[in-house]
Amino acid sequence: MRRGWTWRLILASSAVGALVVATTLNRGPAWSLVTVTGDGIAVVNDRPIPLGHLDDLRRALRPGARIRIGAGAAVEVETPRGLVLGIGPGTDFTLPTPTARWVGREIRTVVQWGEVRITTGPAYPGARLLVKTRETEIAVDGTTLSVTSEPAGTCVSVLEGVVLMSDHGGPPIAIERGRRRCFFNDDRGVEDDALNPEEQETLGAFRLRHRRRLASVAR
């Protein structure tokens, strides 16, 4: 009897150990700081951090952190899984959990206010980023786009790829490359237009700036 219980304990311990190892290996790598431009502070979980204090800012970039950027600054962060987020001036958003390696590759973030630019690399296919604003939810599978949340509503501008946008829980609408879709809270309702030259140039420069590094990320 004792020998039987001993083997059961060994097998149970091995199963628990294997689960811990698998869970640890499945976790996505942490966010890293790419660039900081401008002056002022970033408020991370109600803690003001001067943008010149890069080490403090790097340590604060934890999954689930609420980040607020001052009006005269911008920050870019990335995960080695092939995702870059550009946090524009005056933006308030939540940093998502980095994409996992195999299981649980759907991650979520909330843009309370401002603009977030998004671009993905070769290691990103199979993952999905869900971006929530007050009015909409945007599903990103692999593309370059921007999400702008303002008092009047939410606009999504897509440079490349296809993005799905749901308005107030309605059915998802596909936004094709080169298009801009806005959901307004006033009489304008929904607007769907082509990207203007300024948007194309801004998103194109953002994509080009990160393309080489994203292309070098191992799958």
Maximum CA extent, the chain: 78
Mean pLDDT, range 78-103, rounded to an integer: 80
Element (H, E) at 204: helix 197-215
Asked if pLDDT for residue 17 goes beyond 80, the answer is no
Question: For the segment 128-183, what is each residue's pLDDT rounded down to a tens digit?
Answer: 889 999 889 999 888 899 999 999 999 999 999 999 999 877 889 999 999 999 99
Residues 10, 71 share a domain: no
- Is residue 12 located within the same domain as residue 52? no
Residues 202 and 105 in one domain: yes
Nearest CA-CA partner of 147 in 127, 175, 172: 175
Claim to verify: residue 7 and residue 75 sit in the same structural domain: no
- pLDDT score recorded for residue 169: 72
pLDDT surpassing 80 at residue 115: yes
Does the reported pTM lie above 0.85?
no
Q: Which residue has the higher pLDDT, 209 or 127?
A: 209
Domain that holds residue 10: 1-29
86 and 3 in a common domain: no
Cβ contact 182:190 at 8 Å: yes
The number of distinct structural domains making up the chain is: 2
Average pLDDT over residues 52-73: 92
